Amino acid sequence: MLEIDGGYGEGGGQLLRLAVALSAITGIKVHIANIRARRDKPGLAPQHLAGVQAVGRLCEASIDGLALHSREIAFEPAALRGGEYHFDIGTAGSITLVLQALLPVMLAAHQPCKVHITGGTDVRQAPAADYLREVLIRLVGRLGAQVTMCVLRRGYYPRGGGEIELAVKPTKLAPTVFDASGYRQAIHGLAHVANLPEHIALRMKQAALERLGTYGARAQIETQLLGHEAAYGAGGAIVCWTEGEHTVLGAARIAERGVPAEVLGEAVGEELAADLAAGAALDVHAADQILVYCALAEGGSFSTRSVSLHARTAMWLIEQFLPVRFELAQAAGLAYVTVRTCGKQP
Do 86 and 96 contact (CB within 8 A), yes or no?
A: no
Amino acid at 171: T
* Strand ranges of the sheet holding 231-232, from the earlier edge strand across to the other edge: 83-88, 113-119, 162-169, 146-155, 231-232
Res 173 pLDDT > 50: yes
pLDDT digits 0-9 by tens, 313-322: 999 999 999 9
182/189: higher pLDDT: 189
Q: Using the predicted structure, report yes or no on whether residue 231 has a pLDDT greater than 90.
A: yes
Three-state secondary structure call for residue 85? strand
Spatial distance between the Cα atoms of 281 and 257, rounded to a whole number of angstroms? 32
Rounded to an integer, what distance in angstroms lies between the CA atom of residue 11 and that of residue 39?
A: 7
Domain ranges of the chain: 2-178+283-341, 187-278
* pLDDT, mean of residues 88-95: 92
Residue 295 amino acid letter: A
Find, among 91, 92, 116, the residue nearest to 102 by Cα: 116
Assess whether pLDDT exceeds 50 at residue 345: no
**Cα–Cα dist 208/185, whole Å:** 18
Per-residue pLDDT at 58 exceeds 50: yes
Q: Each residue of 25-53: pLDDT tens digit?
A: 999 999 999 999 888 889 998 889 999 99
Provide the mean pLDDT of the chain.
94
- Judged against a pLDDT cut of 80, whether residue 183 lies above it is answered with no
187-278 — its CATH code?
3.30.360.20
What is the predicted pLDDT for the residue at 337?
Answer: 98
pLDDT of residue 110: 87
pLDDT of residue 245: 87
Is 199 annotated in the active site?
no
CATH number for domain 2-178+283-341, candidates 3.30.70.3450, 3.40.718.10, 3.40.50.300, 3.65.10.20: 3.65.10.20
Which of 48, 192, 285, 310 is the catalytic position?
310
Q: Are 280 and 333 in contact (CB under 8 A)?
A: no
Indicate whether 344 pLDDT > 80. no
What percent of the chain is predicted at pLDDT more than 70? Answer: 98
pLDDT of res. 135: 97
Which range (99-113, 129-143, 176-190, 307-321) has the least confidence?
176-190
pLDDT at residue 346 greater than cutoff 90: no
